[in-house]
Structure 1
Amino acid sequence: MRKILPTLFILLSGNAISNDDFSWLTPDGNKAPETENQKSKSGFGGWLVVTPDKDWEEKWNTPSENIPYFSEAKDVKLGEELTILPFFANPKLNESNYFEILCDIKVEKPDGTYSINEKNIPCAKGKLDISPLSVFLTQTVIKYIGEQGDPYGVWTVYFDMKDSIRGINIPLKTSFNLVK
């Protein structure tokens, strides 16, 4: 397993600060490359992390100055558990500081069928009293446990995040492999 540090983002602008102009950054401050599981578009960012960490919630629920480290997994065996953590950043706020993120979620099994196929799931919404320029975890977290009868091979997770107020959709994709 590989340890990962959640990529941070900051505004990439000169003297003018705009919530519509930012990018995910690596821990050393360089612009992170766009990947299938981590993207930003028109000021909105989304990111999927597959972790075997059973204590991911404890790691996440710490003061904002603490940056959590999550192990990243690509393989899982029968009986083992993975959690897919969907993060987002910089949701557009309306005049009342309200935001809304909807998600389309599909989990495709190696045989081409779906264990999850849901559209317009409320993933996060509410009024923000802190800066939207923070990294947030959606309320929709996916748990997977390899069970007897599950097909072996690559399971693909499609997680489209929609910033309803901004009118932006970010299609994200990640995968893991159920091995014998």
Structure 2
Amino acid sequence: MSVVQPAFAGDWLSHYYEHPTPERFVTEVKALSKSGYLSNPQSASMISVFLARVMAANPAQVDGWLGQLSDLKGGDRESLLFAASLSGTKEAQAYLGRQPDAEKYRGKPVDISALEPNNPTVLDMFWADFFATGEAAPVRRIVAALNYDKYSGALDRYAKSEKTEKDRNDAVLEAVFKAAAWSLESNARQHRRVGEILEQTYFLGALTQPEQVWLSAILAKAMPEKYEFTRSEADQWTFKIKATEEGKTGWRDSAGKLIGETVSMKSRDDFSGWLLATTDDDWEKKWNTSPDTTPSFNKADAVPYGKKIYILPIFANPKLDQQGNANVRCDLRVVAPTGKVSFERKDAICAAGTMEGIPYALRLSTQAVAFSGDPDDPPGTWVVEVMLRDVVRNVELPLRTSFELKRQ
């Protein structure tokens, strides 16, 4: 599998998605040619997919790259031109159209994402796609191969079978299942991004029973500090999220270390809340980015009259009731420097119903409020208070933040 293929041992290929360096394209392709991996049937397909994704992301460079590599021969040339075809770029199509064997590359390029993960080569192609892009889709296609667990034992049976076409196909599918499970676990250990994708895939649901069971086992093996997968005396498997470090729960920094509580950021009984006041007019656009991206907001500090302040209650890991629904409510009020309550809302619904995704993902309350100082409002320190309640867990988090209203 690609996780251990020597061709993917270098940082340029196996970690390209983390630090894209397309300027190394020609040099690296020549190195792959010299090493024999570019023409090796065992590695050529996945390398072609990888190169295709790099070309697709850099169409303006494609013609120049292909021109500089025009001296490649035989299998090396075929792998490179196949990659150009897969890229789907007009620049690649124009170059291919000038080749003596142009007819071979005419027509719609192969859609790799539509391939069934029913042989090891396709799995390697999906991993190559991921290594080039860091996207979740190819990893999720590999997860689908876990459904081949129903062919378990086919490899052992094949040795004693009549070796019919069905016997052979069943054995191949068991091999694909084992390769998929092993490579998902191994890459989740080595690539944080793979682990995140597997967590998102698991907690988003919509998995088949084999996918859910085997993904539980893979997560527990790849991230034993976070998950456990155990068998009960009744021979039932149980997947659990482990308690956080030393049994503590709470907000953590990007390195996973616990952050001390503040008046605006608290946790209790595994329920977390954060009250943010920001002056970012594009806060909604920032929030609605990919789940893989952590948005950065400018905290409201000294704010001029007329400038909008957006009050955003944020929470994580609400407890679900027996029907799988959350019930988070909040009281919210804005208090002027004089002590007068300028705005108040009580027992408002912050979140209700099913919660998609990872339990510990940050979630924005439905009670986002926009506020701005009117000319007759007093200058000084304004206080925002929110009581965030996880009704199912019976936990309350009193949160508080402030900003300074100043005349220009």
TM over 0.5: yes
1:78-97 alignment runs, 5 A limit = 78-97=305-324
1:101 matched to 2:328? The reply is: yes
- In the other structure, the counterpart of 1:120 is 347
SS of 1:73 mapped into structure 2: coil
Correspondence for 1:34: 261
**Alpha carbons 1:107, 1:155 under 8 Å: kept:** yes
Partner of 1:74: 301
1:131 aligns with 2:362: no
SS at match of 2:285: helix
Instruction: Report the RMSD for the aligned CA atoms in angstroms.
Output: 1.9
- Per-residue deviation, 1:14: 8.7
| 1:20-50 Cα distance to aligned partner (Å, 9 max, x none) | 9532101232211100000000110000111
* Counterpart code for 1:133: Y
Query: Unaligned stretches of 5+ in structure 1?
Result: 1-11
Query: In terms of mean alpha carbon deviation, does 19-28 or 59-68 score higher?
Result: 19-28
118-127 or 83-92: bigger deviation: 118-127
Runs of 5+ in structure 2 lacking a partner?
Answer: 1-224, 229-240
Which residue of structure 2 aligns with residue 17 of structure 1?
242
Matches within 5 A, 1:160-171: 160-171=387-398
Asked if 2 retains the 8 angstrom alpha-carbon contact of 1:109 and 1:156, the reply is yes
Per-residue CA shift, 1:64-108, capped at 9, x if unaligned?
Answer: 001111111211111111111111000001122200111011111
Answer yes or no: is the 8 Å Cα contact 1:13–1:21 preserved in 2.
no
Match in the other structure for 2:286: 59
Offset of residue 13 of structure 1 = 6.7
1:151-175 per-residue CA deviation (whole Å, 9 max, x = no partner) reads 1111101100000000000000000
Name which of structure 1's ranges 141-150 and 53-62 shifts more when overlaid on structure 2. 141-150
What letter matches 1:173 in structure 2? Answer: R
- Partners in 1 of 2:391 and 2:300 — Cα distance? 31
State the Cα distance separating 1:131 from its structure 2 match: 2.6
Which structure is higher in helix share?
2
Give the alignment's TM-score, normalised by structure 1. Answer: 0.87
Task: Tell me whether 1:44 sits opposite 2:275 in the alignment.
Answer: no
Instruction: Tell me which residue corresponds to 1:140.
Output: 367
The offset of 1:133, in angstroms, is 1.6
Percentage identity across paired residues of the two chains: 35
Contact 1:21 1:42 (8 Å CA) reproduced: no
C-alpha separation in 2, matches of 1:67 and 1:14: 23
Larger radius of gyration between Structure 1 and Structure 2: 2
Instruction: Tell me what 1:177 maps to.
Output: 404
Task: State the AA in 2 paired with 1:125.
Answer: A
The residue number in structure 2 matching 1:8 is: none
